[in-house]
Structure 1
Amino acid sequence: MAGTNTTQDRIEEGPAVILVEPQLGENIGMVARAMANFGLIDLRLVNPRDGWPNEKANATASGAAYVLEGVRVFETLAEAVADLTYVVATTARQRDGFKRVLGPVEACANMRARDRSGQATGMLFGRERFGLYNEEIGFADDIVTFPVNPAYASLNIAQAVLLMAYEYLKTAGSEDETLPFAGPEFTPAPRAELVGLFEQLEAALDARGYFRPPERKPVQVDGIRAVLSRPGFSVEEIRLLRGVISSLDRFSPEMPRGQGSPGDDPRRRPTRAAKGRTSGGE
């Protein structure tokens, strides 16, 4: 369908679109066009295969050059989502783990509600050939999959972005429920805070020999990250959890890191008087 009214204001709002290691410039251009169709503007690329900028992207953007002009490029996914508080990862296949699986309608309604409260949200899309790795999905709060023909479920990256952007735009007219009272307000933590929690906890568990056998560590790490990313922690909650981990790390200052055990806690050692009683003293 052709036709563009250049006199209309652009809608510059909504979630970020994050492409992980996109392979073809043409596909990036078509993603930009799909975003422009439905008013999205924040396009982020993680380690694009052919670098950036890419002239082939301009050729297929078809009037959405302003989206390409605002592209931000990141070396890692952690950097690309660091400022976001809610991220959904799109996938066409079932994944192991603890994350909710949503349809695009529910996922976009969640993002719209968070955007209205001033939070930063994002949609995560994988590589053209095989999508996202499990550890990359670990950076998301929820999984999104599309209700497509199971006999032919394959979507290209621009189609997937188009569907999500369309569903997001449809939520613009929805009204929030008016409740008689509200609970406490929490500031949802950006991804950078959550990644810091992941890294601190994994280091503490590694030092204590939790990951056994070693070859199972990637699977165990994926599981831990999936559980911790699902609740949508606030900044305050993450700081509390990190304080707990730090306290456990310090409970036995005289023991080398990684060699302590609950029995080494000086608070649990018997006093001199107690030792005397157990050995026949007063």
Structure 2
Amino acid sequence: MQGNPAIILHAPQLGENIGAAARVMLNFGLTDLRLVSPRDGWPSAAAEAMSAGALGQGVSVTVFDTLEAAMTGLTYTVATTARPRGMEKEVFGAAEAVGALKARQGQVAVLFGGEKSGLPNEAVALCDAILTYPVNPAFSSLNLAQAVGVFCHQWGASAGLEGKFGGKGEGVDAPATRENLIGMFEHFEAELERAGYFYPPEKTPVMITNLRNALVRAQWTEQEVRTFRGAIKALSLGRGKARVVREE
């Protein structure tokens, strides 16, 4: 976790939002949460409940009376705001802000304002740059925990974090080998030939190519190949039984 930014919540009001912020922080590998004058004090039962265990499994919370105290030891801080402030500061989107934070040496942080009115100008003035999101200008009110989540997701993406469904998912079988896939094709085509599907005969190569192109796009797993070959076998056996019934 070294090199990850701290998340500072300035005058947060609801314990639920603090807990939700901690939860999404840990989802994306961030653990340093700093609170400046939380309205309802600390600790917070509401925050604990909403954090889904994040406050006990990695996210550390430090409470400060002033923003200046919370910024002790920081070398670079980005303030989040949806409003133009008329200040001579760089304005970043989420990806740009992540890049700027990663380029700095020492401890960095992202500052978020409270639910009611966001960050006061004097808080923004203490920061090096501004982070803003491309929200709907007619409705730019973003929930505090959601705002934290947007940044944390961008940070996690930049760090190459792979979630449960990034890459080989839980319980997903290995990709089918080419020889097993070709074996499935040949099995399928043999049964289609028996059923009289390939007609006229001179078009058989083109029809086989079209079928294989369509099937290859599915990116089969080994289990899917076994399942499909089982289905082919069941259909062929069923056709055989039907033929016996007709002959009888």
TM-score range, shorter chain: 0.5 to 0.7
Contact 1:29 1:60 in 2 (8 A): yes
Q: Distance in 1 between the 2:143 and 2:73 partners?
A: 27
Shift of 1:70: 1.8
Structure 1 residue 44 corresponds to structure 2 residue 31:
no
The residue that corresponds to 1:125 in the other structure is: 112
Contact 2:31 2:59 in 1 (8 A): no
SS of the residue corresponding to residue 32 of structure 1 reads helix
The residue that corresponds to 2:152 in the other structure is: 165
- Dislocated runs of 4+, deviation >6 Å: none
Contact 2:12 2:39 in 1 (8 A): yes
Which aligned pairs between 1:188-199 and structure 2 lie closer than 5 A?
none
Taking only aligned residues, the RMSD between alpha carbons, in angstroms, comes to: 1.8
Identity, in percent, stands at: 51
2:40 maps to a residue whose letter is D
Q: Distance in 2 between the 1:122 and 1:148 partners?
A: 22
2:138 maps to a residue whose letter is A
The residue that corresponds to 1:148 in the other structure is: 135
1:83 maps to a residue whose letter is G
Instruction: Deviation per CA, 1:158-187: give whole Å up to 9, x if none.
Output: 0110011111122225xxxxxxxxxxxxxx
Q: Which runs of 5+ in 1 are unaligned?
A: 1-10, 174-282
Contact 2:30 2:59 in 1 (8 A): no
1:107 to 85, 88, 97: 97
1:34 to 21, 24, 29: 24
Which aligned pairs between 1:1-282 and structure 2 lie closer than 5 A?
14-66=4-56, 70-114=60-104, 117=105, 119-173=106-160
Paired positions, count: 161
Shift of 1:65: 2.2
Q: Distance in 2 between the 1:130 and 1:67 partners?
A: 31
1:95 maps to a residue whose letter is R
Assess, with a 3 A threshold, how the Cα gap between structure 1 residues 159 and 12 changes in structure 2: closer, same or farther. farther
1:123 maps to a residue whose letter is V
Contact 2:26 2:59 in 1 (8 A): no
Contact 1:16 1:122 in 2 (8 A): yes
1:99 maps to a residue whose letter is K
Shift of 1:112: 1.8
Instruction: Deviation per CA, 1:107-137: give whole Å up to 9, x if none.
Output: 11111222xx4x1000000010100110110
SS of the residue corresponding to residue 51 of structure 1 reads coil
Q: Distance in 1 between the 2:107 and 2:140 partners?
A: 30
1:63 maps to a residue whose letter is G
Q: Distance in 2 between the 1:38 and 1:140 partners?
A: 23
User: Please, which moves more after superposition, 12-21 or 24-33?
Assistant: 12-21
